[in-house]
């Protein structure tokens, strides 16, 4: 059993790699605009993607907790495969809306379940005293690093495929989209106590954990949501921004790869940086870097502006690694996938209403003004989230120190 679970870790890493190997991402905006979609319509497709996830994220996370992580991931992989095959035929605004619904169903099933299964596997192996098991913080950081590396390699591949055509990128994505399905079939469910199927009682337990449990859990969830929302916004601005700065489309993939490498390295060294600087200083750094990046992108010209985007990627890598590890470490395994899904739901729910507004701002006011608007919104928002989190972490640490009884 332990051997199978060790393979589980490897397969989850590979699953994360291929789920993130999205050659379509660096050129998705030009692809849709090539089918006569405006930026407002592009962001409408993403709002529908977010709506689909908002409707199914928490139910799918709960399904993963009750029905099993492996089954949820497997079903999600089926939707991914169908969605990328459908993209081969998409040719209109309605077609792209259908594509986003299919992809949203897949994402809602996999999101949270993969992190929960990885965390469960590592905890089980540690409890069994298995050789080669690693700390959960390292496993989560490694997964984030692998996913970022996959995104980077996909970016380079996208730029190379553009030497042929944009259609070649779409075909490649359809083929790559089959790999997660094969890997999901090889996953193994972790043995765990059977959760009592009392839906009302389980919902009450999750609510009590988030609202009345450790305050750090709630504020960490807020932090993940805030940084996740910013990441989604800039994700859809980048390609338009590069075009605005005169960057040839063939360079999109290479910049994407460099950004992904930055996220990968940042996530990989997040734990070491936290130990060196301390949690409080790292959190302040994470909060400052995105604001510095947005301001530099708004005021910078040409490649100088593009370079400021790296500050956002460093913050993304650090925040994803540290925040998700902190959250999953404090959440019981029986509800881990559900809580992860709730956090993702918060991001998607906000994006449903604000995504099209972002597209409207890009069409009406341009890239520079839109970046300054984001800066004006997120400067106070990140402060409101991070400062209480820092205070509650200090309080939690002080409480834990008081509970330590010196050996007599």
Model confidence pLDDT, tens digit, residues 9-25: 888 889 889 988 989 88
Give the mean pLDDT of the chain. Answer: 80
Choose from 61-65, 84-88, 351-355 the range with maximum mean pLDDT. Answer: 84-88
Does pLDDT of 388 surpass 60? Answer: yes
* pLDDT at residue 334, rounded to an integer: 55
* pLDDT at residue 338, rounded to an integer: 64
Q: Which domains does the chain have, with CATH numbers?
A: 2-185+200-399 (1.20.1250.20)
Both tokens of residue 375?
């800066």
* Angstrom distance (rounded) from CA 203 to CA 56: 16
* pLDDT at residue 408, rounded to an integer: 42
Residue (of 239, 260, 261, 259) closest to 250 by Cα position = 239
Both tokens of residue 182?
């094969």
H/E element, 281: helix 279-299
pTM for the model stands at: 0.68
Q: Which residue has the tokens 């098991």?
A: 133
* Angstrom distance (rounded) from CA 231 to CA 313: 9
Contact 64, 337 (CB under 8 A): yes
Percent of the chain with pLDDT over 70: 81
Contact 119, 139 (CB under 8 A): yes
Confidence tier at 68 by pLDDT (50, 70, 90): confident
Both tokens of residue 201?
């009682």
3-state secondary structure of 407: coil
Q: For residue range 191-239, what is the model confidence (pLDDT) as tens digits? A: 765 555 544 544 455 555 554 456 666 777 778 888 888 888 888 888 8
Helix, strand, coil shares, percent, the chain, to 5: 85, 0, 15
Residue partners of 40: CB distance under 8 A and separation at least 6: 356, 359, 360, 362, 363
Looking at residue 88, the DSSP 8-state letter turns out to be T
* pLDDT at residue 243, rounded to an integer: 87
Secondary structure of 143-181 as H, E, C letters: HHHHHHHHHHHHHHHHHHHCCCCHHHHHHHHHHHCCHHH
Confidence tier at 404 by pLDDT (50, 70, 90): very low
């Amino acid at each position: 059993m332990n051997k199978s679970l060790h393979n589980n870790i490897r397969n989850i890493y590979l699953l994360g790699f291929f789920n993130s190997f999205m050659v379509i991402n660096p050129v998705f905006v030009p692809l849709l605009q090539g089918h006569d979609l405006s930026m407002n319509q592009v962001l409408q497709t993403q709002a529908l993607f977010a709506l689909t996830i908002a409707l199914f994220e928490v139910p799918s996370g709960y399904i993963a907790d009750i029905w099993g992580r492996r089954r949820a991931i497997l079903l999600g992989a089926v939707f991914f495969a169908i969605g990328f095959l459908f993209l081969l035929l998409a040719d209109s605004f309605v077609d792209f809306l259908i594509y986003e619904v299919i992809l949203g169903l897949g994402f809602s099933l996999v999101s949270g379940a993969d992190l929960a299964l990885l965390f469960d596997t590592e905890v089980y192996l540690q409890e069994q005293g298995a050789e080669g098991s690693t700390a959960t913080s390292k496993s989560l950081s490694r997964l984030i690093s692998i996913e970022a590396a996959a995104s980077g390699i996909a970016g380079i591949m996208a730029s190379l495929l553009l030497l042929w055509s944009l259609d070649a990128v779409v075909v490649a994505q359809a083929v790559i989209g089959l790999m997660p399905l094969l890997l999901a079939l090889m996953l193994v469910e972790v043995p765990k106590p059977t959760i009592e199927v009392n839906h009302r009682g389980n919902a009450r337990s999750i609510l009590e954990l988030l609202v009345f449990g450790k305050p750090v859990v709630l504020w960490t969830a807020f932090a993940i949501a805030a940084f996740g929302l910013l990441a989604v916004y800039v994700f859809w601005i980048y390609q338009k921004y590069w075009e605005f700065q005169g960057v040839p489309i063939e360079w999109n993939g290479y910049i994407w790869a460099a950004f992904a490498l930055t996220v990968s390295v940042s996530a990989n060294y997040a734990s070491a940086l936290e130990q060196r600087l301390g949690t409080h200083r790292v959190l302040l750094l994470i909060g400052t870097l995105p604001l510095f990046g947005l301001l530099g992108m708004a005021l910078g010209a040409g490649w100088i502006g593009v370079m400021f985007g790296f500050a956002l990627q460093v913050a993304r890598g650090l925040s994803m690694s540290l925040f998700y590890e902190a959250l999953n470490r404090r959440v019981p395994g029986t509800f881990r996938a559900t809580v992860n899904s709730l956090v993702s739901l918060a991001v998607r729910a906000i994006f449903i209403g604000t995504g099209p507004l972002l597209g409207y701002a890009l069409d009406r006011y341009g890239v520079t003004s839109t970046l300054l608007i984001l800066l004006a919104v997120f400067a106070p928002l990140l402060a409101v989230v991070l400062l209480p989190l820092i205070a509650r972490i200090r309080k939690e640490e002080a409480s834990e120190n008081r509970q330590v009884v010196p050996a007599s």
